[in-house]
Amino acid sequence: MFEKPTSHGTYMPPAEGQPVQSIEMLMSNTETIPGQSIIQMLGVVTGSTVRAKHIGKDILAGFKNIVGGELKGYTELLQEARAQALQRLVMEANSRGANAIVNIRFATSAIAGGAAELMAYGTAVVVG
């Protein structure tokens, strides 16, 4: 899910038509970054994306439904979408001058048939 991690605990957002910006951001879904302490809180940051499926994948998934089991096309699609939501989260935290995001949560909601919103949110902090 996380493209090209520069080292453990850091995250480089995947380039998507934009100039590559490597942002070093520590991320965790616990209340602190393990082994470090929070110096400053910078508020809640969110990142979200709405994705719809490709019609070809939809048709393939329809066939897969005959036997059940994993729908690989969708698994990958949502993985990419979630990576983008995280990328936006990282961008926002970065613009606030944070070097870490703690207590990250994921939320998914179905907007309309065939489209889903994926959201990631957390607290931007400065750790040291």
Partner 1 sequence: MRQDEADLILSIGLSLLVAVGPLLFSWIFGNIYQKKKQEELGVRVKAFGTDNLTTLKTPPAQVSASGLLSANIIMSVSWWQKLVGGLKTIFGGQVETWDRVLAWARKEALQRLREQARAKGFDNVINVRLDTSEIQSSKGRNTAIEILAYGTGIKT
Q: Is 109 in the site for partner 1 (CB under 8 A)?
A: yes
- What minimum distance in Å lies between the beta carbon of 23 and partner 1? 14
Q: Given the complex with partner 1, which of 19 and 37 has the nearer CB atom? A: 37
Q: Is 56 in the site for partner 1 (CB under 8 A)?
A: no
Q: Given the complex with partner 1, which of 6 and 40 has the nearer CB atom? A: 6
Give the span between the Cα atoms of 64 and 70, in whole angstroms.
8
Residue type, 83: A
What is the distance, to the nearest Å, from the Cα of residue 24 to the centroid of all Cα atoms in its chain?
15
State which of positions 69-98 bind partner 1 (CB under 8 A): 69-71, 74-75, 78-79, 82, 86
Give the span between the Cα atoms of 32 and 66, in whole angstroms.
45
Tokens of 39: 């110096």
Q: Is 18 in the site for partner 1 (CB under 8 A)?
A: no
Nearest CA to 84 among 7, 8, 18?
A: 18
Tokens of 77: 């699609």
How far does the chain reach from its first CA to its final CA, in angstroms?
26
Q: Given the complex with partner 1, which of 17 and 99 has the nearer CB atom? A: 99
Residues in contact with partner 1 by the rule CB under 8 A:
1-2, 5, 7-11, 26-31, 33-35, 52-53, 55, 58, 61-62, 64-71, 74-75, 78-79, 82, 86, 104-110, 113-114, 116
